[in-house]
Amino acid sequence: MDRLRRLDHWITGGDSSTGSRIALIVELAIIAHLTVKVIRHISEFIINKIQTRKSRLGLESQRPKLITLIRLIVSAVTFSIYFLAIGFFLQELGIDLATYLKSASVIGLAISFGSQGLVQDMVIGLTLIFSDAMEVGDLVEVAGTTIVIGRVEEIGLRFTKLVNFFNQEVFVPNRTIANVSRFPLGGIYAYADVQIPQDADPVKTVEAIQNVARGMWMQFGAIILSKPVIDKVVSAEGGGWNYLRIHFKIWPGQGNLIETTFRQQVVNAMKTFNPNYAEWQVTVTYRTMTAAKGK
């Protein structure tokens, strides 16, 4: 209570002791700094709880958005605390607090007119946060001045941070984002249909194809995002031949791995059963994630 009385006495100008006022300035600075640290500590505690707690209400997809909002609120509160603390310091130097607030408003208005790009970044950043255009953790293609494919790490007021295929952190200015294409289930499905050679042992051919598919997954885990799903052998309607379908989930834009490397390895494996086996007998198609999910 005595400390509060001294602080109130200083603010109202009742204490004329220079040493006492300097001490109170230092004390106020320490209080402001500790308050900010406590607020940040509490916010990070809440964020950690959100990240580790299992969702029981089906709100799992809203967690990244909530985390972003918490950090924005903390940043705004931190700015307000430091802004008011600076005002009290200037008041001690003889600058009226009302004048300080008016000057800050004028400066802020001038900066806003001179930094239209900054304002655009902030407006679009808030739009991305409050809309369903993308969420933290989504795999997206962002088009604007350049096209970037990556996983969303952070949606900020100035930049959206993506991690691309080469594990680079790419900071995209929000105002340059014109289109956002989401990959809802985190990748693209590539279907490889492998024709089974006639008169070949079906068990051995299927085993050989499985070995190639699993070997590709182990070798190219950064491109093939999950373990390949291998269907049963199916007879083509009216074709008189059988084929085996392999489902790959791959990083967008990396279909060449399936169309060339996988196809060539399968052709080489099938040639041990039929020397005349050709590349056209391995076809690769792509499906939307929604269609693939219903399979």
User: Over the stretch 281-295, which tens digit does the pLDDT of each residue have?
Assistant: 999 999 754 444 444
Q: What is the pLDDT of residues 16-37, one digit of tens each?
A: 555 666 676 677 677 777 777 7
> What would the two tokens of residue 103 be?
């000057």
What are the structural domains, with CATH classification, of the chain?
A: 2-114 (no CATH), 132-183 (2.30.30.60), 188-293 (3.30.70.1430)
In degrees and rounded to multiples of 5, residue 251 shows phi and psi of -70, 135
Q: Which residue has the tokens 């984002």?
A: 177
Q: Give the number of C-alpha atoms closer than 13 A to the C-alpha of residue 126, restricted to the C-beta side.
A: 7
Query: Is 157 strand, coil or helix?
Result: coil
- Residue 157: C-alpha distances to residues 82, 120, 132 (Å): 20, 9, 16
pTM of the full predicted structure?
0.62
- The per-residue pLDDT for 144 is 83
- The per-residue pLDDT for 266 is 96
Q: Whole-angstrom Cα distance, residue 173 to residue 94?
A: 41
Query: Is 32 strand, coil or helix?
Result: helix
Q: Are 87 and 100 in contact (CB under 8 A)?
A: yes
Q: Whole-angstrom Cα distance, residue 91 to residue 103?
A: 13
Residue 38's pLDDT band, with cuts at 50, 70 and 90, is confident
Q: Whole-angstrom Cα distance, residue 191 to residue 211?
A: 17
Burial group, residue 158, by CB count within 10 angstroms (0-12, 13-18, 19+): middle
Average pLDDT on 229-255 reads 88
Average pLDDT on 181-194 reads 90
- The per-residue pLDDT for 44 is 74
166: left (phi over 0), alpha (psi -120 to 50) or beta: alpha
Q: Whole-angstrom Cα distance, residue 105 to residue 108?
A: 5
Of 203, 144, 200, 152, the closest CA to residue 174 belongs to 144
Q: What is the pLDDT of residues 122-156, one digit of tens each?
A: 778 878 877 778 888 889 999 988 899 999 988 88
Q: What is the pLDDT of residues 63-85, one digit of tens each?
A: 556 666 676 677 777 777 777 77
Query: Is 190 strand, coil or helix?
Result: strand
DSSP state for residue 136 in the 8-state scheme = T
Continuous segment of H or E residues that includes residue 149: strand 147-155
Continuous segment of H or E residues that includes residue 250: strand 242-250
Question: Taking 90 as the threshold, does the pLDDT of residue 247 lie above it?
Answer: yes
Could you tell me the sign of the dihedral formed by the alpha carbons of 143, 144, 146, 148, in that order? Answer: negative
Could you tell me the sign of the dihedral formed by the alpha carbons of 285, 191, 278, 257, in that order? Answer: positive
DSSP state for residue 252 in the 8-state scheme = T
